[in-house]
Amino acid sequence: MKELDLYRDPRAVEALVKRIRSVAVRPMQFMEVCGTHTMSIFRYGVKDLLPSEIQLISGPGCPVCVTPAGEIDQMINLSLMDGVIVASFGDLVRVPGTRGSLADARAQGARVEIVYSPADALELARHEPSKTVVFLGIGFETTVPAVAATMLQAARDEVENFCVFSSHKLMPPALHALLSDPSLKVDGLLCPGHVSTVIGAKAYEPVAEKYGLPCVVAGFEPGDILQGVYMLARQAAEGRHEVENAYSRAVLWQGNQRARRITEMVFKPGDAGWRGLGKVEASGLFLRNEFSSLDARKRFALTDKDVPEPYGCLCGQVIKGMALPASCPHFSKSCTPLSPVGPCMVSSEGTCAAYYKYGG
Amino acid sequence: MCLAVPMKVTRVEGDPDDFFMPPSAMVEAGGVSQQVRLDIVDRFPDVGDYVIVHAGFAIRTLRPEEAKKSLELFQEMTQLAGE
């Protein structure tokens, strides 16, 4: 799409930086909670363009990173079962559990297939009738409707050797858990891009109201992010706390109701554990009883177990924006992208991975 | 991780009301073509529309006029700063 070039145009970038400087009347700290924002900010060197008054910190925007170690272990155990093929998104495969990762399990003979779409996992099941394909459902509201649609298709087509291990999580409850911690100081929230496409900009109204926080939905081009930062700084300077949408080409106030309806047909909310945040009420999505036969937890009688995070690993603090990667004793010494200790270094959206790759 | 680039719809297959055959579209961007599912998209696209794609599924349809409008708003915001 040629028009997108303008969102990367250096002149637009310059103009926005000027605007930001004009409203950066005092120190302000904004948090983003979207893995793609984390990466875009680093890739485009956004922090270097901003005046020193404006700080950007990363929150729990990476679904892989917030998956507790105990769930990673469950996924690895599934992969080691006879007759099971685990289908997973790519960046989950190298996340360490208590004893190795899915990739390590694969090296031991487990069938672990990387898929780009849950639909691919269902196709895999059709092609491997003698195996059970377990799709590892990781992701926030952007990904969930696609998984729900796939499950509806599996049910319609009566594909019996397919099931889903749902580790899906919801963004707004985590935001509330995060923001109610008085030790976190933020002056505004840069709201996710495509999560917002599904849940709508209106989803952040309770956050803006309850915490008196400016909220701006932004896209991923450098111009988009700077516009988002500008609108946050402007709100903060003017003492407003509203929800503004700076990504109107992809996000509507009401979001995508169809996607949400399809999600509700298949999933229901429940309490879920987040790395770093602990248990957050009604923040996870689980399969409705009608879909028990497609529920890996029920099929394999899995039990939840709390396991400690790797010793010294600060992922939990990094995810909350309470610590920077450099303060972790493992960072870039014992924990590197090639041999990660925690998920923040593994995931393509992880904060530690971003700092390692881009510096800063 | 999200694909930021809206992709242009070149062909639409299937019917949104067809219970058994999920509708899909061929889309392209930057010379790359792929098939995407339309089960969860907010509005059914026509050829020439753009879609935002995630994990093989379209999650938003963007009409060319709407893309233009968004662009105009952005241009407004960035031009005025020069004054």
The whole-angstrom distance between A289's CA and the closest CA on chain B is 22
Which phi-psi region, left, alpha or beta, contains residue B55 (left: φ > 0; alpha: ψ -120 to 50)?
A: left
Prediction ipTM score: 0.92
| Closest residue, chain A, to B83 (C-alpha) | A15
What does pLDDT average to over chain A?
A: 94
Render A272-322 in DSSP notation, one character per residue.
EEETTTEEEEEEEEEE-GGGGGGBHHHHTT------PPPTT--HHHHHTTS
Band of residue A308 on the pLDDT scale cut at 50, 70, 90: confident
Alpha carbon distance, N-terminus to C-terminus of chain A: 31
Asked if the model's pLDDT at residue B82 lies above 60, the reply is no
pLDDT in tens, B22-79: 899 999 988 889 999 999 999 999 999 999 999 999 999 999 999 888 888 888 888 7
Q: Which pLDDT value is given to residue B22?
A: 86
Mean pLDDT of A30-59: 94
- Cβ–Cβ under 8 Å, residues B83 and A221: no
pLDDT in tens, B64-76: 999 888 888 888 8
- Cα–Cα separations (whole angstroms), residue A288 to A153, A162, A222, A297, B26: 15, 16, 40, 12, 32
Q: What are B's interface residues with A at a Cβ cutoff of 8 A?
A: 1-2, 4-6, 8, 19-20, 22, 29, 37, 39-42, 50, 52, 54-57, 59-60, 62, 66-68, 70-71, 73-75, 77-79, 81-82
Is the Cβ pair A146, B62 closer than 8 Å? no
- Cβ–Cβ under 8 Å, residues A146 and B55: yes
What are all long-range contacts of A306-309, with beta carbons under 8 Å and residues at least 24 apart?
Answer: A306/A68, A306/A70, A306/A273, A307/A68, A307/A69, A307/A70, A307/A73, A307/A97, A307/A98, A308/A69, A309/A69, A309/A275, A309/A342
Query: Which pTM does this prediction carry?
Result: 0.94
pLDDT in tens, A116-149: 999 999 999 999 999 999 999 999 999 999 999 9
C-alpha span between A283 and A191 (Å, rounded): 17
Closest CA to A227 of B53, B73, B62: B73
Q: Which pLDDT value is given to residue A311?
A: 85
- 3-state SS record for A194-247: HHHHHHCHHHHHHHHHHHCCCEEECCCCHHHHHHHHHHHHHHHHHCCCCEEECC
Chain B contact for A142 (CB, 8 A cutoff): yes
Which phi-psi region, left, alpha or beta, contains residue A276 (left: φ > 0; alpha: ψ -120 to 50)?
A: left
Better-predicted residue by pLDDT, A276 or A219: A219
- Count chain A–chain B contacts defined by CB atoms under 8 A: 129
Asked if the model's pLDDT at residue B83 lies above 50, the reply is no
Helix count and strand count (H, E) for chain B: 1, 5
Over the Cα atoms of chain B, what is R_g?
A: 15
- Cβ–Cβ under 8 Å, residues A89 and A113: no
Asked if the model's pLDDT at residue B1 lies above 90, the reply is no
What amino acid is encoded at A301 in this protein?
Answer: A
Q: Which pLDDT value is given to residue A49?
A: 95
Mean pLDDT of B15-24: 80
Q: Which residues of B touch A348 (CB under 8 A)?
A: 1
The secondary structure of residue A328, as a DSSP letter, is S
pLDDT in tens, A312-345: 899 889 988 899 999 999 999 999 998 899 989 9
- Cα–Cα separations (whole angstroms), residue A266 to A133, A198, A262, A287, B43: 18, 16, 7, 6, 21
By percentage, how much of chain A surpasses pLDDT 90?
82
Q: Which pLDDT value is given to residue A198?
A: 97
Band of residue A31 on the pLDDT scale cut at 50, 70, 90: very high
Closest CA to A219 of B62, B34, B65: B62
Query: Which of A39, A248, A258 shows the shortest C-beta gap to B40?
Result: A258
pLDDT in tens, A91-105: 899 998 888 899 999
Q: What share of chain A is helix, strand, coil (3-state, %, to 5)?
A: 45, 20, 40
Asked if the model's pLDDT at residue A5 lies above 90, the reply is no
